[in-house]
Amino acid sequence: MINERMQNALNEQIKHELESAYLYLSMAAYFRAEGFDGMAQWMAVQAQEEFTHAMKFFDHIDERNGRVVLKALAQPQGEWTSPQAAFEAAYGHERFITGKIDDLVKIASEEGDHAAGIMLQWFITEQVEEEASALKVIELLRRIGDSGYGLIMADRELGKRIAIPADNEE
């Protein structure tokens, strides 16, 4: 059985993960409106991943006879000044989530919750990947600058990203 402090912290993380999905859907909508369908695809896949992450926390609480309590989500930002600014916001958000995962690891350690600690190891690895992925796009967009042709090529390349089924993500 999960203790109350860990359960509350994981419920809060479900909210953060769902807000991440909501933010990335907002970015996908922004990119579609701007005519960058490839970047929209990249963000839509990211949103799906974040929903999967929320469900991992949801299932962990449930499997340990805890109670999932869903919380209200904040409205995400809807406009950015450029594709690069949107990806920089995504990178900043991933760094925020990494800090939240680090906090959960600390709570699991303090509470002696080894089951949560083991589950959180997957998220530690995942966050390294999430940050690196966003940063790679930012570096590409920095090199491209204001080149219209470069943005078109980057959009095409980013549109190749596909969702990995949840069973294969582990």
CATH number at residue 26: 1.20.1260.10
15-22: average pLDDT: 98
Task: For residue 61, give the nearest of 113, 15, 11 by alpha carbon.
Answer: 11
Query: What's the confidence (pLDDT) of residue 164?
Result: 78
Residue 58 lies in a domain: yes
Residue 142 lies in a domain: yes
State the total domains in the chain. Answer: 1
Name residue 59's amino acid: D
Helix (H, G, I), strand (E, B) or coil at 92: helix
Task: Judge contact between 54 and 18, C-beta under 8 A.
Answer: yes
What residues make up the domain containing 93? 4-70+81-162
Residue 88 lies in a domain: yes
Task: Judge contact between 109 and 121, C-beta under 8 A.
Answer: no
Residue 65 lies in a domain: yes
Query: What's the confidence (pLDDT) of residue 163?
Result: 83
Model pLDDT for residues 84-110, shown as the tens digit of each residue? 999 999 999 999 999 999 999 999 999
Model pLDDT for residues 116-168, shown as the tens digit of each residue? 999 999 999 999 999 999 999 999 999 999 888 999 999 999 999 988 775 55
Residue 169 lies in a domain: no
Task: For residue 92, give the nearest of 39, 138, 53 by alpha carbon.
Answer: 138
Residue 57 lies in a domain: yes
